[in-house]
Amino acid sequence: MNVKHYISYILLGGILSAFLFTGCEEKDNRITEGVIDYDVTYPYFKDPFMKNMLPSKMKFEFKDGMYKNTIEKAIFATSLISNCKDSVLIMTMRFGKKQYYSELDAALTDTMIKKNGIPDIIALNATDSMAGVLCTKYMGVFDNLNDGYDGEVYETHSIGIDAPNWCNPYRELDGVLLGYEVDQFGLQMRFRATQITDTIVNDSTFNIPANYKKVPLERMLYEVEELFNSL
């Protein structure tokens, strides 16, 4: 091998190594298992006394392409368990003796999303920090709301979940949302991540709780809305 060919092999090897190790490094830097804590607020809810009755925190646990978000307050709790690989969503609700769950495939999930409205996503060509990580910033505009409501959306690619938004109104974004607003349970809710913890999540986190009764989606949505209306 002459000198010119030798140098060419060295340069080519260096380029391939840089590409491969950079790709691996980016993937390895993503957090693939852990917990995200969110603050929950109600920007358009005027009664301060009733605000204190509503949940103020959400816990988001993720692992192996699955996640579970939980909102609870005193004697009630609701959660969504999302299997992003198989497009299966489990909704659960606990309120006193009422313990229900619904299992949704992609079609039923689509029905639920359309019920609450899908925003137009407007890129702002801006970035910001949320819970200590870099986020791309968007504006979500909901045309179906009478007040012309829109909200800021913060997306990060630092969390290792593929297609995390397949089951929410922001499904055209492929990163995890650390800040967003959505109409849920008859209330406009604002979520802002406050902390991301890289930690082990038990497999049982994603199991359906024992003694929960399976009900259709319509029954589940009715029960959850009634629960929040009673607060």
Q: How confident is the model at residue 186 (pLDDT cuts 50, 70, 90)?
A: low
| C-beta neighbour count of 126 within 10 angstroms | 11
Predicted local confidence at residue 26, as pLDDT: 45
Predicted local confidence at residue 144, as pLDDT: 55
Q: By three-state DSSP, how is residue 25 classified?
A: helix
Closest among 107, 65, 108 to 83, alpha carbons compared:
65
CATH of segment(s) 33-229: 2.50.20
Sequence ranges of the domains in the chain: 1-30, 33-229
Which pLDDT tens digit goes with each residue over 29-81?
Answer: 899 999 999 999 988 777 777 677 788 999 999 999 999 999 998 778 999 99
Q: Which residues pair with 100 in a beta bridge?
A: 93, 213
DSSP code at position 209: P
The rounded distance, in Å, linking the Cα atoms of 158 and 135 is 9
